[in-house]
Structure formats: structure tokens, C-alpha cells
Amino acid sequence: MTGATGICEGRVVIVTGAGRGLGRAHALAFAAEGAKVVVNDLGVGLDGAGCSEGPAQQVVGEITAAGGAAVAHGGDIATTDGAASLVAAALETYGRLDTLVNNAGFLRDRMLVNLDEDDWDAVMRVHAKGHFLPLKHAAAHWRSEAGAGRPVVARVVNTTSGAGLLGSVGQGNYAAAKAGIIGLTLVASAELGRYGVQVNAIAPAARTRMTEDTFAGLSALPADVSPLVVWLGSAASTGVTGRVFEAEAGRITVMEGWRPGPAADKGARWTPSEAGEAARKLLADSETPQPVYGAR
């Protein structure tokens, strides 16, 4: 990262799915800013098949060659044992944990009528469960630290997607998982703030293995997203929690979610016809939704 300032000096950061793409860029960026990094990656293919320690070890090599500190973790963070060992790797290697970046994921794109149950389960598992379990184990550690009277300045950065915000044709499983991550982010932010933990999410847009086929014209680089992730993962982001940011190249957008729009109250039960008439009037006064990605 150019113009490094040491914003994460002394912090210990976990990045899941850090062997390639966005995760790799985040890991390198945190290390450049002084963090010690736990590089988690299973080394799987785009569809989650296969397994290799190579990608994680390569990123560790890049960090250490540049004078930083990093350790590889090859466990499956969508399992209880894998997630627990991930947090343990940070604590046993560096004695603390300050930031968790949940980034791991893969795709199995199909139109809904062609989407197999296995493809649904696999994508939900790695994205939704793969966010939940590391977060659960990290949060348990931070709660224990806070309970023992030790100061906690912890940060969690989850990874959602424009598909989770707006939907994406051919990605019903991925969109559902990414929308769920937004809900998890909001709940975790509300529950964990008392322990000194801030939880936010990013919806990145960058050219990676996962996006090169779906968004062929996308030219933004993974490293363009990482500065925001590093800031959210640092102590400098104090007071920012429960928010979702879209990041692409040099553009950062605060995404504003569901909130009450036009409403009507009859004061009694509607008939179906009355409810329909009222709904149509309310829709006429409401904002038009953003289009689903890929819709015609």
C-alpha cells in the first residue's frame, strides 16, 4: 500500500479467504500498515472444490518478504473446529486479536429453476456460516476480555455484495447469503458494542476470479477496496458501527437500507380489495426500487 501511515501498528488481524483476490489485497494492506496478519484460505476453486495450502502460504511469504509478520491458517472456517482454531491461531501466535475480516466465499451460479439444493447449501454454508462462526468465536474472546476488565478495541468487517443489496439474476443462492450477512452485521453491531466491538460490512466491486465472468467490464482492482477495510479495521474508525459501505475504485458510498416509506392506516381490518387499492396508492407515492443486477 502506498503512503502507509502505520494506522494498524500493533494490531492482530484475521482475514478469511485471503489467498487470492480481495482477501489477499486486504491482508497485504493490513500488513503494510503495521498489523500482524493471520492469512486464512482453503485454496479452493471458484466453486469451492479442491484444497491447497499454496495460496495462503504465498501471501504469508509476500508479507514476510516485505518485513511484515503473518501466519497461514488452512482450516475450514465454516466448521466450529475450523473457526475456533482460526481465533486460536491469532491468540497462540501473537497473543491477541483485534480485527476480523470475513471475506471467504465462492460461487455456484444458476438460474433458480436450475439451482440444485447442493449448490444452495454450499454457497449458504461458506458465505453465511463462514461469517457466523468466526464472528461467534472472536466475539466470545472479546467478551471474555471485556469481562476481565481488559480494554477491547475490536473491529469486524463483513463482506456483502451488490447482489445482497439489490439482487442479481442467476445468483439466488449468493444474493440470499449476502443479504443475510447484512442482517448478521446489524445484529452483531447491536449485541457486541457493549464489549468494545464494532461491526460493519462492505459491498466491494473489484475484478477478481469471482467477478470476471459475471461483470466482464469491471476494471477496479481489489487493492482499491482495501484502504476502506483497513480503516474500518483500525482504532481510527471509533464510533462507526452497523453500517454498510459500497466500495469501487476511488468511490465510497454509504448504503442506506430499509426504512419506512409511505403508509396508510385504516384503523380497522382491510378487505382484500381495499388493501390492494391502498397498496397501489402507496406504491405510486414511493421511490422506484433500484433494478436487480442483470434484469432486463
> Is there a domain that residue 6 lies in?
no
Roughly what angle, to the nearest 10 degrees, separates helices 130-147 and 172-192? 10
Question: Cα–Cα distance between 209 and 203 in angstroms, integer?
Answer: 16
Q: Are residues 272 and 171 in the same domain?
A: no
The burial of 231, by beta-carbon neighbours within 10 Å (0-12 exposed, 13-18 middle, 19 or more buried), is given as middle
Residue 293 lies in a domain: no
Mean pLDDT by 10 residues, the chain (296 residues): 81 97 97 98 63 83 98 97 98 98 95 97 97 98 98 98 95 97 98 98 74 56 95 98 95 94 98 98 96 90
* pTM reported for the whole predicted model: 0.91
Is residue 296 in a domain? no
Residue 89 lies in a domain: yes
Residue 5: the pLDDT is 87
Q: Is 266 found in the same domain as 251?
A: no
Domain count, the chain: 2
Mark whether 241 and 266 lie in a shared domain.
no
For residue 266, give its domain range.
261-287
User: Which residues are annotated as catalytic?
Assistant: 161, 174, 178
Query: Which pLDDT belongs to residue 296?
Result: 76
According to the model, what pLDDT value does residue 37 have? Answer: 98
User: What count of other Cβ atoms lies within 10 Å of the Cβ of residue 46?
Assistant: 15
Same domain, 153 and 265: no
Find cell 449468493 and name the residue: 174
- Note whether residue 182 is domain-resident: yes
CATH number for position 119: 3.40.50.720
Residues 149 and 194 in one domain: yes
- Within 10 A of 33 (CB to CB), how many other CB atoms are there? 23
Residues 250 and 267 in one domain: no
